[in-house]
Amino acid sequence: MQVEPYLNFDGRCEEALEFYKKALGAKVDMLMRFKDAPDQSMITPGNADKVMHSRIHIGDTTVLMSDGRCTGKTNFHGIALAISVKSEAEAEKTFAALAGGGQVQMPLGKTFFSPRFGMLADKFGVGWMIVTAS
């Protein structure tokens, strides 16, 4: 069994894909647009070129992403993605890349369980926790 997060960006998926490629080195494995769907009834005004489904890899992790219903109302409350990194330098770099345009919730710093830990919501509202393995 494997659990894979599926994030709906409600119309901003393409932007999110580009952001995660730059910020995290994400690799896009698959991308399907609404206009490519066999069932053309799924197409609504303005969504033909939007992302119906995509699969990316961030390190060894698969993340699935979509534009969902393209309402423009993302909601990532109550969930965060955790990234474990090997060094404090990598934590600093990753945190800074994801924080651009977002909101820092807990600045990156030393904790009782990690030499570097921090929390933020990126510019799409996705929650992230960065932790350096101790």
Residue 128: predicted pLDDT: 98
C-beta neighbour count of 57 within 10 angstroms: 14
pTM above 0.85, yes or no: yes
- Do both 89 and 61 map to the same domain? no
Instruction: Give a yes or no: residue 54 inside a domain.
Output: yes
Residue 76: predicted pLDDT: 92
CATH of the domain at 52: 3.30.720.100
Instruction: Give a yes or no: residue 16 inside a domain.
Output: yes
Instruction: Give a yes or no: residue 122 inside a domain.
Output: yes
Number of domains in the chain: 2
Burial class (CB in 10 A: 0-12, 13-18, 19+), 105: middle
Instruction: Give a yes or no: residue 75 inside a domain.
Output: no
Residue 15: predicted pLDDT: 96
Domain range for 120: 80-132
The residue out of 14, 41, 66 marking a domain boundary is 66
Mean pLDDT per 10-residue section of the chain, whose length is 134 residues: 95 97 98 92 88 96 94 89 97 98 97 97 97 89
